[in-house]
Each structure stands twice: as structure tokens, then as C-alpha cells.
Structure 1
Amino acid sequence: MKLHAISIFFLLQLLYLQNVAAQNIRSIFLFKDVMKSNTTALKTSGFNTLIMFGIGILDNGDIKYYSNTPGSQDVVVASGGSYVGGAALADKVRSFKTNTTGINRVEISMNSQHVKNLMSRPGPGAETPLYRNFAALKEAWTLDAVNNDDEVLYDVASTVAFAKMLGKIGYKYTGAPYTNAQFWQSLVRQVNSGLKEPDLLLDRMYLQCYDGGANNNPAGWANALGIKVVPIVWVTNDSKPVYGVSAAQARTRFSGWSSSQKSALAGGGYWNDFDIEKMGLSYRDYGAVLTSVFP
């Protein structure tokens, strides 16, 4: 009886920890070239998830990293089934989860370009260049997930095929919606068909709550998708300052959502590190907001 009680206790503890983990995603999108961003600050300011923007698929199945930073060059990182992005870049990405760090998940974010064509021909098979390139990149960068930032194509069938291909390689799949809830709803349902938590393939939705998604309501999206969402706000910036929020304003927004819509939230996050550094803002201040609201 005592052993039985102990087993139940540890089972309950495990379920509790899984539930807590599902509520405390603290993310930031990396728009700046990771070779030039403040790696130490990203690792030690309270974030636990980094989403590297942006990765692109070329028409032949090669994968390119777009640095998005003045003075940096875009670079093909996987070709012919091998990693070709260089040791320095691989070491940098791998370092996010090593030594003194709070990061436990690194994702790459990409749009939908060439996905439909490549899923049609040559398809998602393990022998295809695209499959082999994503496998090589995962190993080289120790990646955890691929983020879908589709804002144009919205083709359900090819996106589902692509997500399932990534799942076979060992990736998780995530979304970054701001509109077209019907597409994202269909995607979640089909990608996760037959799966249950914590083994969902499409396991996170980073909901854009700025710019075109400024009026998005996390609870409404969570209800429509059948999965908790991670609302993303834009830090103070000079590109579209009307959509930027200070750390204090971010705290107000996240706290408000957490107070009124807690069951809909899996955490919170920001777009993007480039503006934090460009505007002379504090990673620690923005990170502290997330650790406070989503501990």
C-alpha cells in the first residue's frame, strides 16, 4: 500500500510539472543575425525558448539562413543532405542551450515558399533532399522545432505533409498566426490527428498580438484552435512604433491576459531581439516580465 501511494504521489507530481511546463513558455523571436546578437543576455534574462527568424527553403530543397542584419550575409546552411553553414554558426546556435543558460528549446522560423511544390515533387520521403537537409540541420544545430510563419500560401494539404515529414525527423512543429483562423484550425486538427499531449506534433501556437494581429484575443484563438496559445507582443521599435510596447506595458498586457484568460495561455513572448538591441532596451527587463507572469 505504501509503495502504491508513493507511485501515485510521483505520478501526480509528474502531471503537475507537465502542467506547469505547459504554462511557462517564455519566448523571443531572433530577428538579428545570431552571430551578432547578445548571446549571453538571451541565455540569462529569463527566456526559455528562442525562435530564429528566418530560415528559407530554396526551390531545390536547400535551406538558407537569412541574417536580416546590416553587414551580415545570407548563407545556405544545408545542401545535398549535409550541413554546409560553417562551424562558427553551428557552434553559436548550439551554445544557446549549453553552459549557463535558461534556454531549453530552439526553433527555426520559416515562411511557406516552395513548400507546396516540394511536397508535390519529389514529396516528403526520407530520401528527398529536403528531408535530408532538415535532418542534417537538426543535428548540426541541435534544433527542437520548426515554426511556420506562413502569411501568404495557407495551403493545408502541403503544410500537413511538411509538418509530418518534420515529425519523422524528430522536430516539433509550431505556428505563428495573426489571421486566417480557419487555416490554422484545420492545420492543428490534421497534424495532431490521433495524438495527445504531451506527444502533440504541432504543440505550440505563437499568436501575433501586434501589427496585423493587434486586436487578436488569445482566448478566442485558443478556443478555435483547441490548443493553448502563446501571445507575442512587439517590443519598443522605430519601424512601427505604434505597435511597440515597453517592458512596463508588456507586463500590463500579459498580466491582464493571465488574469482573465489563464486557461487559454501557455506562456508569452516577444518580437524581436533586433529591436531590443537597436533601441538600447533591456533584455533583463523584458525577460523579468515573463518570469513574473509565467514563472
Structure 2
Amino acid sequence: MISTRIYAGGAIQFGGQPAIDDLLAAGYTAVIVWSVHVSTSGDLSLNDTPIVSDGIFNTQTSGDLPGHLAQLYKGGVQIIFSVGSGGVSDYANIGALLQKEGTGPTATLFRNFAALKQAKVDAGGDIDAIDFDNEEITGYPVDQTQVDTMTGFSTLLANVGFGSVTFCPYSSLPTWTETYGKVLATHGKGFVSAIHLQAYSGGMGNSPEPWGQMISDAGGQTLLIPGLATVQAGPGPWWNNGAIGESVVKTASVAQYGGGDWSNLLRVANFATADDALQGAEGGETFFFYCNGYLDLGPGKQFQKGDAVYFAGEPQWGAAPQCDGYALSGGCSNIYNMNGACPPDLQTQFQTWKAEKHPPDGGFIWLYDSVVNCFLSGSCGGSEQNPATTAKAYREAITNGLSVTAKSPTPAE
């Protein structure tokens, strides 16, 4: 079976039921929630939102993430949480805490990751693995500090009760190779259940072949899962370096039509200015309107000055002189891949990888958030109906590219 996976950030955390519906309809075998960050004290945040401290999961800030993820889990989707990203110090903090407190049940990291896991179990789901997106490796050829950190972190997670970890490298093969061997020697040949190889952005041009050789040499029972990026909205996407994002289109004197479709309303928040509302977008939104004065659109739809009303989906603007509309409809492009970022491009790349000595066992897509952010742009020449359609087209690019008899590329959505 070809394993298909997709990373998802703020769009799954704050995208509400529309995001869960998209991901269920798209049919991936695993969703990787990105990205957990670890503070110097061991507190856990999901992106910029604190979620665990002192062994307690914060239900007030999580946006009912456990309940939403439980829907995916019950639908047969594996749930993985990814730790780390570029430009952070998560693994430096993890290493310092491991040295100070060890890997047992009294350690802060143990209690916090146990709380993260238990919150998902209590909601009817679970976490299948923790993903190591460690982009802090600097030593050459082997960064022994990071080897020790990732090995110790694996032991702590095993002690908590996690069944496996996954690796998400983009370079530094010698460091990952030594870590891989030590983790397998301690916890068994299948404890690293997958290698999520970044073949985009900093990993652009990566081949899965040497990583497949690493798995083979160690006798690991590990899936080789390279990943590619979708088309991307402009930086931000809503706000970037003190200005409105490049993909944002403003429409003056409008609001969502009061008699239109409000089923994808995500939230209402109050801000002093429209610029603040742009910066207040949390993930999963495709459009919103901002009120410069009181607005009455009918029963249950009264809005005050300063209210920003965020939606997923497609706007149905109606005249409202006291409001302005904002939508991510200004265009998307290939930023991170070497050979294109539309579904047919990805299918071609997976077909190429399939011919290698150690062919992939599947693939992953970076990033569901980008699928949402590009929904209104008509990217890849497609006529999009909803983000689920586009996400499914990217999934099929993996399965078609790696299938025994490759199918014709699915038209871009």
C-alpha cells in the first residue's frame, strides 16, 4: 500500500470543521500536525499557541484540536505531531532539558508530551508518532550533540508510550544515519516508522536513494516517504514585513452577503484596525470582512465597529459601505520545488523516484495550509471547487506516480 501523508499547520488548528472535512475527503493515510515548539522550560506550543504547560493540556487555546483530530483518527487517518522547524531552538531546548531532568516520568518533557497524548486519547483519538523536524544540525560530518538529543528524545517518547517516531530531514545524512542506528538498536527496527525526506525548499533536489540505502544498511522496518511542496501564496500570506501580503486582494465597501452561505464561518474577533485584523488571521481563512462601523445583516449577524469576520471557502460579497473585504485571491506560484508544483509535476517526480534502487513507499505533501491559501487563486490552471479537491489531486499525484502502472496525471485543481 502506498502511504500518502500531508503536513498541516494553523489551517488544521484553527480551520474548524471545514478543514477536517477537506482532509477526510482528500483521503490521505496520515496527517502530520506541524509544528510543536518546545520552550526552555519545556512548555509546548503549536506554532504560536501555548498548548501544554506543567503537565496540563490547555483546552482554552487549542481550538478543540483533540476533538477535530479524533474525527480523522476514527476515519482511519494516522495522526502524527511534528516537533521543530527552521529558525528555532526546539532541539537545543530538548537537549538541555534531557541533560538536566532525564527521560523518566518526573521530567518536564515526559509530563508535557504525556499530556499532549492523553488529550487526544480522551477525545477519542491518539497520536501515532512524533515527527523530528530537526533543522538545528550544524556539526560536520556528525553533530554528536544532536545525535544524543534525538536519541534521548526517542527514549523519553518511548517511555511516555509513543509507538514510534518519524524523521524529517533535508540534509546532514551522517548525523541522521548515526541517530537512526542508535534509535533502532535501543528501541527496535521499527521504532523509526518513517523517513519524511524534504525534497523542497532547503532540500530541493534531494533524492530518496541514499536515505533508502541507510534504511537497508541498518535493516530498518521504516517507510521511505519523500515530500514535495504545493504551489504557494505570497509571503505571509495575510501580512508580511509590515505590509499586506502579496496574495491579498482588498474589495472596498463589501461584506459577506447576509443571505449567502455562512456555513464556513470560522470566527469573529475585534481589532482596532484592518491591519491588525490581517495580522490576526490564524490559519484556515480564505477571506474575511472588516467593519469600520456597525453592520446589521439580519438575525444573529450584527457586527460592531472593529469586528473581523473570518471564513473558509469562497466569498459572496454584498454591498456594505461600512466594511471592506479581504481575500487570498492574488495568485500562487512554485517557490520550493525544482521541477514545478502542480499535481502533474509532482506525479512526474514520483515516477522518477520509483525507478531508483530503493523506491519510496509513499510520499507527503507540503502543506495543507498552502492548498487553503491558494484556493481562490485558480493556480495550476485549474477550476477549484474546494480545497479538498486540490488536496485529493496532490494525493493522487503520489499514488499515480508510484503505482505499478502509472496513470495519466489528474488535471490540476
Other-structure match for 2:128? 144
Partners of 1:121 and 1:89 in 2: CA distance: 31
**Pair 1:175 & 2:167 matched:** yes
Distance 1:291 1:222 in 2: 19
What SS is found at the alignment partner of 1:274?
helix
> Unpaired runs of 5+ in structure 2?
85-90, 121-125, 138-142, 217-221, 235-332, 376-386, 404-413
Displacement of 1:194 in angstroms is 5.4
Query: Is the 2:7–2:365 Cα contact (8 Å) retained in structure 1?
Result: yes
Structure 1: state its 5+ residue gaps: 1-19, 67-73
Determine the structure 1 residue equivalent to 2:50. 76
Is the partner of 1:29 in helix, strand or coil?
strand
Instruction: Kindly report the root-mean-square deviation, in angstroms, between the aligned alpha carbons of the 2 structures.
Output: 2.1
1:134 aligns with 2:107: no
Tell me what 1:267 maps to: 362
Q: Pick from 34, 37, 60: which aligns with 1:53?
A: 34
The answer to whether the aligner puts 1:186 opposite 2:186 as a matched pair is no
Q: Secondary structure at the match of 1:221?
A: helix
Question: What is the aligned length?
Answer: 260
Aligned sequence identity (%): 22
SS class of match (1:261): coil
Question: Which protein has the bigger helix share?
Answer: 1
Q: Cα–Cα, structure 1 residues 287 and 264, in superposed 2: closer, same or farther, change >3 Å?
A: closer
Alignment of 1:251 with 2:347, yes or no, is yes
Q: Report deviation, 1:290.
A: 2.9
Name the structure 2 match of 1:108. Answer: 81
Q: Does 1:277 align with 2:277?
A: no
Q: Which amino acid aligns with 2:59?
A: G
Q: Find the aligned partners of 2:45 and 2:184 in 1 and give their Cα distance.
A: 28
Is residue 233 from structure 1 mapped to residue 228 from structure 2 by the alignment? yes
1:177–1:207: 8 Å Cα contact kept in structure 2?
yes
1:43 to 16, 19, 24: 24
Aligned to 1:92: 68
Residue by residue, what CA displacement relative to the aligned partner does 1:119-167 show, whole Å, maximum 9, x if unpaired? 1011211111210111111121211111111111451112101111101
**Counterpart code for 2:210:** G
Q: Taking structure 1 as reference, are residues 92 and 228 closer, same or farther at Cα in structure 2, changes over 3 Å only? A: closer
How far does residue 252 in structure 1 lie from its aligned partner after superposition? Answer: 0.9
User: Counting strand residues as a fraction of each chain, which structure ranks higher?
Assistant: 2
In structure 1, the residue matched to 2:281 is: none
Q: TM-score, normalised by structure 2?
A: 0.59
Asked if the contact 2:6–2:366 (Cα under 8 Å) also holds between the matched residues in 1, the reply is yes
Q: Find the aligned partners of 2:59 and 2:50 in 1 and give their Cα distance.
A: 6
Quick check: 1:215 aligned with 2:205?
yes
> Where does residue 10 of structure 2 map in the other structure?
32
Equivalent position of 2:154 in the other structure: 163
Q: Give 1 or 2 for the bigger CA radius of gyration.
A: 2
Of 235-244 and 211-220, more deviation after overlay is shown by 235-244
Once the two structures are superposed, residues 69-128 of structure 1 have per-residue CA deviations (whole angstroms, 9 ceiling, x without a partner) of xxxxx3222222222234722212222212xx351x111111224111011011211111
For 1:269 and 1:237, locate their aligned partners in 2 and report how far apart those are by CA, in whole Å: 16
- Normalised by the length of structure 1, the TM-score is 0.81
